[in-house]
Structure formats: structure tokens, C-alpha cells
Amino acid sequence: MREELVFVGVCDIAGHVRGKGFPLSELPSRRHKGVGWTHSNLMQSAFGTIFESPFGTAGDLMIVPDPAAEVRVAFDADTAVEHFFLGDLRNTDGSPWECCPRDFARRGLAALGKAAGVSLLSAFEQEFVYTGAADLPAHAYSLAAWRGQGTFGETLVAALRAAGLSPDSFLPEYGERQFEMTVAPAAGIAAADQAVIAREMARSAAVRHGHRAVFSPVLTADGLGNGVHVHMSLRDAAGAPASYAPGEPMGLSPLMRRFCAGILEHLPAIVALTAPSPVSYLRLRPNRWAPTAIDIVQQDRGASLRVCPVFLPGEASDVARQFNVEFRTADAAASPYMVLGALAFAGADGIARKLDLPSPEGRRPLATSLAEALDLLAGSTAARGWLGPVFLDTYLQHKRAELAHVKDLSLPELCARYAAVY
Ligand code: GLU
Ligand code: MG
């Protein structure tokens, strides 16, 4: 005998989806009041331990499910139906809590609307290692590696579709047992919701095969990284593409150029939000098709922002529709809400201040450690304004406690520790 359960959760600053469950029959009342939560849950680390919290043991919050972020996937008759909602952290009076990651993204997207009347369309391309794949060294991108994952890929793609996403690709990557999945772009907050859902579907499909999908930024100190690449384009108020302008440098419209300039201007600080673990900085090193500098380059996989190619450019309208810029400086230790919020706020600031792109000669390096990135985040007045002082200080306290928590581990131990939890 079995009774269906529902889970309501939020993808928190550790990048984990946490929340609570209840019987399906309780859903009507739970739609409004959600599930109970407390402020100090935000200090729950990637490793489960709750770090010392500015909130102590006091206070109550709610995670209120968003009907637009409901997933119900019945994998097979023998395993539980995966039924969950992503939601918002709210105070008990229903107002948004100032440290809600999803609200941070929503506020960033609103800032973009205010700065230029545009919306952000994005698609998250995510890499991970499937532990159930055949051991085939030296089989980067090969058909054998693709076949070597057995039926996991088919299960994953079916789950993504059943969850309401539009799978675009599933492929073997460069690293051993490494794969990548991409879904079609979505507007606004939905893109981050879908990134969270896609990760969970990969984890869930893997578990049903008796294995894991590991999203940690690196699995070994000198191995290849698992990146999260965000393909971004702007849409005007009428929904028309607004990123491309023929004849302009790299094809960027003035609006998109300023949007990208804002991201690069603030990248020293926001990388602490988009690449938020110590092992993230083992990925951001040379010769791994991962960024090491604050730069934008046409069709270069080593850049922080890559101006993507347009395939078989036909009519101008088709080029404008395909045209996008890829942010490559993120990984799955980050909540997609923190990534999207940071990109939207930074881009909106670039538009509002009419910033120009840095010259290729003035390329600055990216931070080489989380500690360095956190100091730059702490010193950013702009980030303090976007996050608000309470959220920023709590974030810094969380991440610095995480660094202290792992400070005595050797590099192999550190990688293993993160691979075990992401
Ligand atoms: N694995 C690389 C990264 O860490 C990216 C490889 C690719 O370009 O797809 O971002
Ligand atoms: Mg890739």
C-alpha cells in the first residue's frame, strides 16, 4: 500500500534543494501556507551541518509553493512518484523574506525591466558525472561513451519532458563519465527553476539506476570541471529579440553590450555567488575550457562571456532569435537563483550606467580562491544594495564558515568531500 507525498522546497545558498513533505491530500491548504521553515536553515551548509547563525534558534518562515514550479514525474511503478514544488521563503505574514534566493533573482529581473524595459531569456547548460557510466578512458565525446551510460540518458530526457521542460541535448562530455544536458531557454525566473529541476531530474534518474549524478565543480584536483553555462539574450517589451545588431562589434546591440559590460564590471564580486565553493576555483584554471579572466570573446570557450555562434545564418530575424551570449563562470555549487539574480542585477547596472566593454588589453584575472572572491563581494557597494545588508552578511558568514570547515583537508580530500554532496 502506498500514498502519494508532495515536497515543497527551495534551492538555498548551498545550492541544495531543502524543504518539507506532506501527504498529497494536504496540498489544497499547503498551497497557501506552504511548509514551516526557520531563518537559521539558511546557514545549513553543503555538508548538512548548520553553521553558527546570526538568527540563532528563533523565528519562523514559510516556504510557499509556486504553482508554476510544480514537478510530478512517475518514473516507474516500483518507485515513488517524484512530486515537488519549488517555492519562496516568506515571513509568516506572507511578505518575501529578505534572504530568499528566489526573491533575489526576481528582484534582479525586475531591476532589468526597470533599467531598460527588457526581460532576460536564458538556458542553463549543465555538466555532471554519471557514476553508472561505463569506464571508458580516452573516450571524450565518443559514441561509445554516449552508449556507455545505458538507459540513464533516456530516463533523464523522459523525466525532463515529464517535468515540463524541453530537453535540447544530452551528450557525452570531455571528462570521464561526464555528460551534459541542456534545455530550451525560458523567460525570467522560470529559467532558474528549470535549472534546479533539471539537476534534480538527473539526480533522481541516476538514483533509480542505483548511481549518482555528481555536479561538483571538479571531482579531482587536476580533472576537468563540471561547468554551468548560462546562455542569455534580451527580449524587448513586445517579446522581440534585442541582443543582436548587425555591423556592431561582435554583433552585440548597444543594450546587450551594456548588459554584458555590467556583468564584467561586477564579475570580481559576483563570482563569489556564481562559483561559490573552494573547489570552484580548481575549475577556473587555464586549459580546461573554463574562464580565468574577466573577458568577453567571440566564440571562445575559455572566456567568461562567450559570444555564441549563429548556425546557418539565414534571415536577419533568425540570426537575432538565435543570437546569445554565454556566461561560463558558474557551477552547480551555486543556486541558479543566485546566479540569475547576480547576472540580472549586474547587467541592469551596466545598462543604467551605459557601461562599455573593457578592452581586451585591460583583461583582469578572476579571483583564484573563494576567500579572495568573498572579500571582493564584501567590498562591493553594488552587491550590498542588491542583496541587502542582512542577506549579504549572512551569505558571507555562511561561506566563510564553509571555508573554515574544510580548511584542514588535503586537495584530494577536499574534492572528495564536495563530490560526495553535490
Ligand atoms: N567542462 C568545461 C567547464 O568546466 C566546459 C566544456 C564545454 O565547453 O562544454 O566549463
Ligand atoms: Mg559542455
d(CA 128, CA 381): 34
Give residue 412's pLDDT: 97
**Residue indicated by cell numbers 574562464:** 291
d(CA 69, CA 408): 40
Torsion angle (degrees, nearest 10) of CA 111, 115, 120, 126:
-60
Ligand 1: residue of 124, 125, 126, 127 to mutate (most ligand atoms within 8 A of CB) is: 127
**Residue indicated by cell numbers 527580449:** 235
CA angle 190, 228, 395 (to 5 degrees): 80
Sign of CA dihedral 32, 121, 335, 159: positive
- 1-59: pLDDT as tens digits: 999 999 999 999 999 999 999 999 999 999 999 999 999 999 999 998 888 888 888 89
Three-state secondary-structure class, residue 230: strand
> Closest Cα partner for 323 from 308, 313, 312?
308
Residue extents of the structural domains in the chain: 5-95, 104-421
d(CA 338, CA 195): 12
Tell whether ligand 1 has an atom less than 6 A from the beta carbon of residue 55.
no
Tell whether ligand 1 has an atom less than 6 A from the beta carbon of residue 285.
no
d(CA 52, CA 43): 7
- 110-139: pLDDT as tens digits: 999 999 999 999 999 999 999 999 998 888
Query: How many angstroms does the Cα of residue 226 sit away from the middle of ligand 1?
Result: 7
Q: Which amino acid residue places its CA nearest to atom 10 of ligand 1?
A: 227
Query: How many angstroms does the Cα of residue 216 sit away from the middle of ligand 1?
Result: 13
Give residue 373's pLDDT: 98
User: Which ligand is the nearest neighbour of the Cα of 124?
Assistant: 2
Q: Which residues contact 405 (CB under 8 A, 6 or more apart)?
A: 45, 47, 49, 51
Q: Which amino acid residue places its CA nearest to atom 3 of ligand 1?
A: 227
Tell whether ligand 1 has an atom less than 6 A from the beta carbon of residue 30.
no
CA distances from 101 to 11, 53, 245, 380 (A): 8, 17, 33, 19
CA angle 310, 313, 315 (to 5 degrees): 130
Give residue 223's pLDDT: 87
Helix axes 370-378 and 254-274, enclosed angle (nearest 10) = 120
DSSP state of 149: T
Q: What percent of the chain has pLDDT over 90?
A: 90
d(CA 121, CA 191): 8
Tell whether ligand 1 has an atom less than 6 A from the beta carbon of residue 258.
no
Q: What are phi and psi of 68, to 5 degrees?
A: -75, -10
C-alpha cell at 383: 552587491
* Low pLDDT (below 70) residues in the chain: none
> Closest Cα partner for 85 from 26, 169, 3?
26
Give residue 315's pLDDT: 81
State the chain's mean pLDDT as an integer: 96
Q: What are phi and psi of 399, to 5 degrees?
A: -70, -35
> Closest Cα partner for 327 from 46, 126, 108, 100?
126
Question: Cβ–Cβ contacts within 10 Å for residue 97, how many?
Answer: 20
d(CA 36, CA 60): 7
What is the position in ligand 1's atom list of the atom closest to the CA of 180? 9
* Fold observed for domain 104-421: Creatine Kinase; Chain A, domain 2 (3.30.590)
- What would you report as the CA-atom Rg of the chain, rounded to the nearest whole angstrom? 21
Query: How many angstroms does the Cα of residue 289 sit away from the middle of ligand 2?
Result: 9
Q: What does pTM read for this prediction? A: 0.97
**Residue indicated by cell numbers 555528460:** 179
Same fold, 5-95 and 104-421: no
Ligand 1: residue of 174, 277, 297 to mutate (most ligand atoms within 8 A of CB) is: 174
Ligand 1: residue of 128, 230, 288 to mutate (most ligand atoms within 8 A of CB) is: 288
10 Å CB burial of residue 363 (0-12, 13-18, 19+) is middle
* Fold observed for domain 5-95: Ubiquitin-like (UB roll) (3.10.20)
What element of type H or E holds 21?
A: strand 17-23
